[in-house]
Amino acid sequence: MDLQQRIKDTIRDVPDFPKPGIVFKDITPLLQDVKLSADITEAFADYWKSFPIDAIVGIESRGFIWGNAMAQKLGVPFVPVRKKGKLPADTFSYKYDLEYGSAEVEIHKDGIKAGQKVLVHDDLLATGGTAVAAAELIKKAGGEVVGFSFLVELGFLNGIESLKGYNSKVHSLITY
Ligand code: AMP
C-alpha cells in the first residue's frame, strides 16, 4: 500500500471537535505506528532535500512532531513558533484574525538569522491563517520563506491561496 493510503487509513476523523461542524483530523494514531511515522519523516525529508533550506520553523504544537524530525534528517536547525507568552526569551510576535476573535504567535528573535532560507511546517493546512502568521514572523526576523510543508491539506478551504504571496513551494503529503 502506498504511503498516502496508509496515512489516510490511519488518521482518525473526530466529528464536531473542537466545535460543531468541524471534522478534526487527529494525527495521534500515526504516532502509534512507529514504522508509518518514520516513513512520513522520510517522505518529507526526501521531498525537501533538494531545496536550499537553512532552518525549519514548526508551528505549535503538532508542527513540532515531524518538523523537528525532518530538521534532524536534513541536518538543519528547528525553530518553534508558539502561542503568545510561551517562549521565554526575546520574541517577535504577530497577531492575526480568526473566525471569532484573534490569535497571536511568537518566535525567538535569535531563532532565525537574517538571510536564512526557511521552511514552514505544520500538520495541517486549513484556511492558511496560521501558516501565514509563521511566514510573517520569519520575515520579521529577516529570513526568507522558501516553502510550506504540511502533512494534510484541506483543499476545499483553499488555504493555498493565502500562501501565494510568498512565491514559494507548497507541499502536502495528503489532500482532502
Ligand atoms: P488554519 O490557520 O485555518 O490553516 O488552521 C491550521 C491550524 O489549525 C493547524 O495548526 C491545524 O493543526 C489546526 N486545524 C485546523 N483545522 C483542523 C482540522 N480540521 N483538523 C485538525 N487540525 C486542524
Atom of ligand 1 at shortest range from CA of 127: 3
What confidence tens digit (pLDDT) does each residue in 157-171 have?
999 999 999 989 999
| Nearest ligand 1 atom, CA 27 | 21
Q: List pLDDT tens digits, range 1-59.
A: 899 999 999 999 999 999 999 999 999 999 999 999 999 999 999 999 999 999 999 99
Q: Tell whether ligand 1 has an atom less than 6 A from the beta carbon of residue 62.
A: yes
H or E segment at 138?
helix 129-140
Would the CB of 105 count as within 6 Å of ligand 1?
no
pLDDT above 90: residue 100: no
CATH class of 50-175: alpha beta
Taking a C-beta distance cutoff of 8 angstroms, is the pair 140, 104 a contact?
Answer: no
pLDDT attached to residue 75? 98
Please say whether the beta carbons of 146 and 53 come within 8 A. yes
Report whether 109 contacts 91 (CB < 8 A).
yes
φ, ψ at 13 (rounded to 5°) = -85, 125
Residues acting as catalytic residues: 62, 99
Q: What is the pTM of this model?
A: 0.97
* Domain locations along the chain: 50-175
